[in-house]
Amino acid sequence: MPQFCDVALAVPLDANFTYRIGEGQSPVVGGRVVVPFREKKLSGIVVRLHDEEPKYKLKQITLVLDTEPALDAHLLALGEWIASYYIAPLGEVYRTMLPLGAEFRRATGYRITERGSEALYESATVGSSRRSKAEPEQQMAEYAVLDYLAEGELVREETIRSATGATKQMLRGLVAKKWIEREDLSSVRDAKRVVRVAVLVEGGGLGVPPPGMTVGEEKAIKLNANQRAIVEFLKERSGRAAVDEVRGLEVPKTTLQTLVKRGVVRIEEEAAELSRSGMQPRSTLGFLFTAAQQAVSQRPLPALATV
């Protein structure tokens, strides 16, 4: 088995990138692999296997996605011609040629660090952090991020930005201060649309009730009002409901995460189906004619005079 492979990545550079093949990995030409690129993980197409070790230090393939080529020799050659003709990066061209059965989704998550927790505590006790040289307005924005991450859960970047108004630059700054840490959440996912569903776990995470006490009574004791609101909401819906519906309840956003952490609720993904309820068939004429034109079109046509 060759030791190295050249990979075409969907980046605006006219070059392929060489990676070391790890033990037990078997990439194929035309197949997809996940590789580290700068601070990210990217998927790319293997264009060459070889034993020619470069003089610079190499990174290793993170994951082999395909055991058979996703693009055969003819498609690889076509991609090279397209890239040459349109002066486009080869990796970008190959990406557009891949089937939509699966794709690699890039995502980043953040969690608060011990230093971040200390800074948040200082802000609550003595005001602004002595270690921060930012303006008060910026400090308040940073503390909003820290407060949102206070429970220590790993949260996706888009969720943090939506909830707090943080910018990418602010998050990078908090990482530089070591108040939060970044984690790559990139993964392979089915390209089909899915919905996240909250499922109530029967007696999950609540322990064995004392003698004479039902499981329901045990839950009522151990759950606060917000948590009970979610549990009751799920019970009314046969123990499962879309996460978006649960988020619509007037409870803190972290409540559902707490129930998941305690094993009371689990999150599942289901394929989304197109709902046709309430959809009524419509006449094509309604799109083509005005009301007056439709009225005329429905009148009986006069008999044609014969000559």
pLDDT, tens digit, 9 for 90 and up, residues 222-252: 788 888 899 899 999 888 898 888 888 888 8
Same domain, yes or no: 134 and 174: yes
Distance CA 246, CA 20 (A): 46
What's the token pair of residue 101? 């059965």
The verdict on residue 13 lying in a domain is yes
Long-range pairs for 38-43: beta carbons < 8 A, 24 or more residues apart = 39/182, 39/184, 40/106, 40/184, 40/186, 41/106, 41/184, 41/186, 42/9, 42/10, 42/11, 42/104, 42/106, 42/186, 43/10, 43/103, 43/104, 43/188
The parent domain of residue 204 ranges over 194-271
Same domain, yes or no: 222 and 237: yes
Same domain, yes or no: 182 and 216: no
Highest-scoring range by mean pLDDT, 19-23, 102-106, 208-212, 243-247: 19-23
Same domain, yes or no: 28 and 72: yes
The verdict on residue 44 lying in a domain is yes
Same domain, yes or no: 70 and 114: no
Q: Specify the pLDDT at position 49.
A: 96
Mean of pLDDT values over 54-70 = 89
Examine the pLDDT at 65 and tell me if it is beyond 70. Answer: yes
Mean of pLDDT values over 209-216 = 49
Q: Specify the pLDDT at position 112.
A: 92
Q: Specify the pLDDT at position 94.
A: 93
The verdict on residue 174 lying in a domain is yes
pLDDT above 70: percentage of residues in the chain: 73
Which residue carries 């005001």 as its tokens?
Answer: 127
Distance of CA 83 to the CA centre of its chain: 29
The verdict on residue 116 lying in a domain is yes
Mean of pLDDT values over 169-190 = 83
Distance of CA 50 to the CA centre of its chain: 34
Same domain, yes or no: 145 and 92: no
Examine the pLDDT at 48 and tell me if it is beyond 90. Answer: yes
Please answer whether residues 245 and 230 qualify as being in contact, where contact means their C-beta atoms are separated by less than 8 angstroms: no
Same domain, yes or no: 42 and 66: yes
Same domain, yes or no: 28 and 52: yes
Same domain, yes or no: 178 and 249: no
**What pTM was estimated for this model as a whole?**
0.46
The verdict on residue 289 lying in a domain is no
Size (the chain), residues: 307
Residue finishing a domain among 46, 74, 99: 99
The verdict on residue 112 lying in a domain is yes
Residue finishing a domain among 154, 187, 220: 187
Examine the pLDDT at 84 and tell me if it is beyond 90. Answer: yes
Please answer whether residues 187 and 110 qualify as being in contact, where contact means their C-beta atoms are separated by less than 8 angstroms: no
The verdict on residue 72 lying in a domain is yes
Residue finishing a domain among 80, 99, 118: 99
Question: Total structural domains in the chain?
Answer: 3
Confidence of residue 103 (pLDDT cuts 50, 70, 90): low
Distance CA 144, CA 163 (A): 9
